[in-house]
Amino acid sequence: MLHVVTGTAGRMILEQLVNLDRELVALIPILLALSAAVGIIGMWRQMPGSTFVAGYWLAAAIVSLTVAKEGSYINYFLDLCTACSLAASAGFAWLATRRTLAAAFVLVLAVQTATFTRPNALSEHLTARLSRSNEYNRLAALVRDALERF
């Protein structure tokens, strides 16, 4: 059996955790705060699905600590970003009957989106990777050919 991803015994680097957490907070501060508020208020008011939303967010936050592993990068926050999106969706659904609050909620999310679209470390990283897409495609073809021969 072929394993594309294997576990590593890399060491944990606290400085990397702090730096990447700082980067995440700089990228999506409003979404993080909003999703935490949705989780807390949803649990407090016993909103439908709040246990799932808060539990998923907490589990994703714990898993995101693995970003401290040597060789990790900000993509280790994808689960947490998914949890934030789930919380935002739940918050909007809970506010659906209160049009003014729902509109304010959407406005806050729009501000977060506008903030995220400014140049940042992640967009610079993605731009650098896209500029090397021909090299990645050639590497992918080599791997595909090797697997076909195997």
Please tell me whether residues 90 and 45 are part of one structural domain. Answer: yes
Length of the chain measured in residues? 150
Please tell me whether residues 83 and 129 are part of one structural domain. Answer: no
User: Does residue 126 carry a pLDDT above 70?
Assistant: no
Does 14 or 86 have the greater pLDDT score? 86
Please tell me whether residues 99 and 63 are part of one structural domain. Answer: yes
- Nearest Cα to 91, choosing from 28, 33, 27, 19? 33
Does the residue 5 lie in any domain?
Answer: no
Q: What is the mean pLDDT of residues 104-127?
A: 79
Does 10 or 15 have the greater pLDDT score? 15
User: Does residue 1 carry a pLDDT above 50?
Assistant: no
pLDDT in tens, 37-80: 998 999 999 999 999 999 999 999 998 888 888 777 777 888 99
Average pLDDT, the chain: 83
| Residue 50 lies in domain | 14-118
- Nearest Cα to 52, choosing from 60, 100, 107? 60
**Tokens 């590593």 -> residue:** 8
CB 61, CB 80: distance < 8 Å: yes
Does the residue 25 lie in any domain?
Answer: yes
CA distance 147 to 150: 5
Domain count of the chain? 2
* Confidence class for position 115, pLDDT limits 50, 70, 90: confident
pLDDT in tens, 76-103: 888 998 999 999 999 999 998 999 999 9
Two tokens at 92? 């909007």
Please tell me whether residues 34 and 63 are part of one structural domain. Answer: yes
CA distance 96 to 47: 13
